[in-house]
Chains A and B, each alone.
Chain A
Amino acid sequence: GENVEQHPSTLSVQEGDSAVIKCTYSDSASNYFPWYKQELGKGPQLIIDIRSNVGEKKDQRIAVTLNKTAKHFSLHITETQPEDSAVYFCAAFFPGTGNQFYFGTGTSLTVIP
């Protein structure tokens, strides 16, 4: 079945450094890839997304890249700040049966002041 793998599961960086989280997906028909940030006791919040017709998208300190051939996409956070500490989830939309989103298992990011 459809699958999204996410790495690493935990990530610690010094404040000001960059953080990179990677995801791979199984279905080449996937055409939409959102990234969510989840703080403790809260629901996931969309932070950036990318569609399959572009290779990169940037929004201030956050960027996402997509390699359709390799079926992987990555989240890049530059100049990290303590408030970036949270759990980050990638997701892939699988058109076809059910038109469902499948989620990665999450990355717990800690930014050390």
Chain B
Amino acid sequence: DGGITQSPKYLFRKEGQNVTLSCEQNLNHDAMYWYRQDPGQGLRLIYYSQIVNDFQKGDIAEGYSVSREKKESFPLTVTSAQKNPTAFYLCASTPQTGGSSNQPQHFGDGTRLSIL
């Protein structure tokens, strides 16, 4: 079955530590996205990538970094600069990007990050 796999499901971060969240998709989608979900605030875009080796900042990119070395993979690193990392992180993908051919996003089942 095609889909998006996020791992781990739960992650704990110590002070001053960087942690990386994995997102893999086998849907052959071009575009991939990272969202942060906090209670009562909906989904906020962290980073997105429309093509391999290219990515753009979303609305809340500070304290996060990404890479897109392969089409199927879009890992997110939560750096020590992110002072409030506790949240539910969702990865999504779409077949193609922008213009008049926008497509619905497919989501993974998320990673819940907490501070120790």
Mark A residues whose CB is within 8 Å of B. 4, 6, 9, 31-32, 34, 36, 41-46, 49, 89, 93, 95, 98-101, 103-106
On chain B, which size bracket covers the interface? 20 to 34
CB distance from A38 to the nearest CB of B (A): 8
Counting CB contacts under 8 A, is B81 at the interface? no
The answer on a CB contact under 8 Å between A9 and B43 is no
Do A43 and B108 contact each other (CB < 8 Å), given the known contacts A100-B45, A106-B42?
A: yes
Do A99 and B98 contact each other (CB < 8 Å), given the known contacts A44-B90, A45-B107?
A: yes
Give the residues in chain B near A43, CB-CB below 8 Å: 4, 6, 90, 92, 107-110
Do A100 and B102 contact each other (CB < 8 Å), given the known contacts A43-B90, A106-B42?
A: no
Interface string of B88-113 (1 = CB under 8 A from A): 00101000011110101111111000
CB distance from B83 to the nearest CB of A (A): 23
Give the residues in chain A near B92, CB-CB below 8 Å: 43
Mark B residues whose CB is within 8 Å of A. 4, 6, 33, 35, 40-45, 48, 56, 58, 90, 92, 97-100, 102, 104-110
The answer on a CB contact under 8 Å between A34 and B104 is yes
Give the residues in chain B near A46, CB-CB below 8 Å: 104-106
Give the residues in chain A near B33, CB-CB below 8 Å: 101
The answer on a CB contact under 8 Å between A101 and B105 is yes
